[in-house]
Structure 1
Amino acid sequence: MSIKITRRSAVLGLTSTLATPALLSAQQYVPSQPAAQRRNASSFVTQDWRDHFDTLGKGVIVADTSSRALHYWNAEGTDYRVYPTSVPMTDELTKRGYTKIVRKKVGPTWTPTKSMRERDPSLPEFMEAGAGNPLGTHAMYLSWPAYLIHGTHDTRKIGRRSSSGCIGLYNEKIAELFAITPVGTQVRVL
Structure 2
Amino acid sequence: MTRLRSVTAVALSILLALSIVAPVSAARVYNSFTNTWEEPSAVATRNKGGSPIRRETVDYSGNYRPGTIVIETSERRLYLVLEDGKALRYGVGVGRDGFRWAGTHRITRKAEWPGWTPPPAMRKRVPDLPAYMPGGPANPLGARALYIGSTLYRIHGTSEPWTIGQAVSSGCIRLTNDDVTDLYERVRVGATVVVKH
TM-score by length of structure 2 reads 0.66
* Equivalent position to 2:92, from 85, 88, 103: 85
Aligned to 2:34: none
What's the offset of the Cα at 1:118? Answer: 1.2
Question: 2-side partners of 1:169 and 1:60: how far apart?
Answer: 17
Aligned to 1:169: 175
Contact 1:65–1:189, Cα closer than 8 Å, also in 2: yes
Structure 1's consecutive aligned runs of 4 or more residues displaced over 4 angstroms after TM superposition are 76-79
Question: 2-side partners of 1:131 and 1:48: how far apart?
Answer: 37
Unaligned runs of 5+ in 2: 1-50, 54-58
* Equivalent position to 1:185, from 186, 191, 195: 191
SS of equivalent residue, structure 1 residue 136: coil
Evaluate the alpha carbon distance shift between residue 105 and residue 117 of structure 1 in structure 2; reply closer, same or farther with a 3 A threshold.
same
What's the offset of the Cα at 1:99? Answer: 0.6
Aligned to 1:12: none
What's the offset of the Cα at 1:89? Answer: 1.2
SS of equivalent residue, structure 2 residue 129: coil
Contact 1:49–1:62, Cα closer than 8 Å, also in 2: no
Evaluate the alpha carbon distance shift between residue 113 and residue 47 of structure 1 in structure 2; reply closer, same or farther with a 3 A threshold.
farther
Aligned to 1:15: none
Correspondence list, 1:58-97, <5 A? 59-74=67-82, 76-77=83-84, 80-90=87-97, 92-97=98-103
Contact 2:70–2:80, Cα closer than 8 Å, also in 1: yes
Question: 1-side partners of 2:61 and 2:99: how far apart?
Answer: 25
Per-residue CA shift, 1:87-112, capped at 9, x if unaligned?
0012x312211011111000100010
Contact 2:60–2:86, Cα closer than 8 Å, also in 1: no
What's the offset of the Cα at 1:131? Answer: 1.5
SS of equivalent residue, structure 2 residue 127: coil
Aligned to 1:26: none
Correspondence list, 1:107-122, <5 A? 107-122=113-128
* Equivalent position to 1:49, from 43, 62, 69: 62
Unaligned runs of 5+ in 1: 1-39
Per-residue CA shift, 1:17-51, capped at 9, x if unaligned?
xxxxxxxxxxxxxxxxxxxxxxx976xxx85330x
C-alpha RMSD over aligned residues: 2.2
TM-score by length of structure 1 reads 0.69
Question: 1-side partners of 2:170 and 2:84: how far apart?
Answer: 31
Q: How many residues end up aligned between the 2 structures?
A: 142
Contact 1:49–1:60, Cα closer than 8 Å, also in 2: no
Contact 1:41–1:160, Cα closer than 8 Å, also in 2: no
Aligned to 1:151: 157
Per-residue CA shift, 1:138-181, capped at 9, x if unaligned?
00001032110000011121111111110000100000000010
